[in-house]
Structure 1
Amino acid sequence: MFNILIIEDDVTLYQQISDRLEQWSYAVHGIHDFQHVMEVFTEVKPELVIIDIQLPKYDGFHWCRIIREHSSVPILFLSSRDHPTDMVMSMNLGADDFIQKPFHFDVLVAKIQALLRRAYDYNAEAAELKTFNGATVDLEQNRLTNDHGTIELTKNEIYILKLLIEQKNKVVSRESLIERLWEDERFVSDNTLTVNVNRLRKRLGEIGLENTIETKVGQGYKAIEKVSP
């Protein structure tokens, strides 16, 4: 049974989501005092977190940032706001997906199931290490290490990198990445993939691996394995 923490102050919506998820045998936990979100997070140890943007005290972006300082748990944002910058902001802070209110509960469940499969089924069979341009890629711990240091990646970032280096020096289409990442492209914005790849590029640059993922306009992305002199 997966533990899911819902950080949502709309009591009616929380109960609706909770009832639906419990039908799928998820253990659902909520927040009663929004000054103690991280205490509940630490106690519950959730396998997935759902966060609303507009919350009492601090907004959802704040809590996403704090959670990412301690954990790579999948994070799904909810928002009644429809401005594209909200989605971009959430992804840049380390969220894994974004859904706009009002939403269909079947779509929410599908997104949750996809995130859990990627995060836990994948990790269960990904204990091996890979290398990429001299860096060790630890697929189980979601990190890359080389002489410049170590970076921690989100579940989406490490999976995108895995898919690209499996076909290094070859173009992987956007459609193929979306299908592998989200299982059903009807449930994902094309811009979500762009944000995730851009964020991955930025993280790689932190350990000297800038320019190792190329965008092929109209085609997709290519992981460049540089040949040592």
Structure 2
Amino acid sequence: MEKIFIIEDDSRIRDELCTFLNRYGYNSCFSINFENIVEEAIKENPSIILLDINLPYFDGHYVCREIRKVSQVPIIVVTSRDDELDELMSINLGADDFITKPYNLQILLARISAVLKRTYGNEQVNSLRYEGIIYNIAASEVAFNNNKIELTKNESKILHILISNNGKIVSRDEIMKSLWQEAEFVDDNTLTVNVNRLRKKLEDLGAVGYIQTKRGQGYILA
């Protein structure tokens, strides 16, 4: 699920965007801490940023420039300012696209999809992301903070299930049935061993505390 970070101070527009994008399978998030909005955006590690120009404390041009100093995350400027100079400045400062309000939500969706495809290519299909973790499905690898490690077949399946259900508790039975079709013939401790091995590999990469055990219920990504 691609994460979209929305930098918009109009709560009505922001809520509308979140609802719309979530409906189409994106994980939308935002912050109202505009005084530290650059740090907030970087901390969320999004796949793409939607950025308004008229903001409290700092305008969008400043925010775009500061983000570009530390990240190449794609940025789409979404603003009511339709001056060609604003568009030129945005592109020169590193924005990937520029769209003016009022906009057609379907057109915005198409622009987002195009920028993501242009930026990540087939990586979108072959990988899943969660809070800085990049799980390469095809290579059965997980990366975090520019370090990566190979996963076994079972570890790979477990991570796939947890990321696909991020924010939800996945029961042990559900995971066991995914790993072993005849789960009733598998020692329950076998799953615990596989989960612990996956947890250890994530911790070795620096992703500490991501897999949480919910006693009597299952596992969840924190």
- With the shorter chain as reference, the TM-score category is 0.5 to 0.7
Structure 1 equivalent of residue 121 of structure 2: 121
Structure with the higher helix share, 1 or 2: 2
Aligned equivalents of 1:103, 1:42: Cα separation in 2: 26
Structure 1 equivalent of residue 39 of structure 2: 39
User: 3-state SS of the aligned residue for 2:34?
Assistant: coil
Aligned equivalents of 2:123, 2:85: Cα separation in 1: 31
**Length, aligned pairs only:** 125
Aligned equivalents of 2:4, 2:124: Cα separation in 1: 19
User: 3-state SS of the aligned residue for 1:117?
Assistant: helix
Structure 2 equivalent of residue 12 of structure 1: 12
The runs of 5 or more residues in structure 2 that have no matched partner are 126-222
- The amino acid across from 2:71 in the alignment is S
How far 1:31 sits from its partner (Å)? 1.6
Is 1:55 equivalent to 2:55 in the alignment?
yes
Q: Which structure has the greater CA radius of gyration?
A: 2
Structure 1 equivalent of residue 26 of structure 2: 26
Aligned equivalents of 2:59, 2:38: Cα separation in 1: 13
Given the two structures, how large is their TM-score scaled by the length of structure 2? 0.54
**For 1:125-156, what per-residue CA distance to the aligned partner results, in whole angstroms no more than 9, with x for missing partners?**
9xxxxxxxxxxxxxxxxxxxxxxxxxxxxxxx
Runs of 4+ in 1 over 4 A off after TM superposition: 122-125
Structure 2 equivalent of residue 69 of structure 1: 69
Q: Which shifted more, 36-45 or 116-125?
A: 116-125
How far 1:43 sits from its partner (Å)? 2.1
Aligned equivalents of 1:124, 1:109: Cα separation in 2: 16
- Alignment RMSD (CA, Å): 1.5
How far 1:118 sits from its partner (Å)? 1.0
Structure 2 equivalent of residue 103 of structure 1: 103
Change (3 A) 1:92 1:122: farther
Aligned equivalents of 2:48, 2:87: Cα separation in 1: 18
How far 1:94 sits from its partner (Å)? 0.6
Aligned equivalents of 2:7, 2:116: Cα separation in 1: 18
- The amino acid across from 2:9 in the alignment is D
**For 1:54-73, what per-residue CA distance to the aligned partner results, in whole angstroms no more than 9, with x for missing partners?**
00000000000000001111
Structure 2 equivalent of residue 136 of structure 1: none
User: 3-state SS of the aligned residue for 1:35?
Assistant: helix
**Identity within the alignment, %:** 39
**For 1:19-47, what per-residue CA distance to the aligned partner results, in whole angstroms no more than 9, with x for missing partners?**
11001111111121101112322321011
Structure 2 equivalent of residue 164 of structure 1: none
Given the two structures, how large is their TM-score scaled by the length of structure 1? 0.52
Aligned equivalents of 2:96, 2:43: Cα separation in 1: 22
Aligned equivalents of 2:41, 2:56: Cα separation in 1: 17
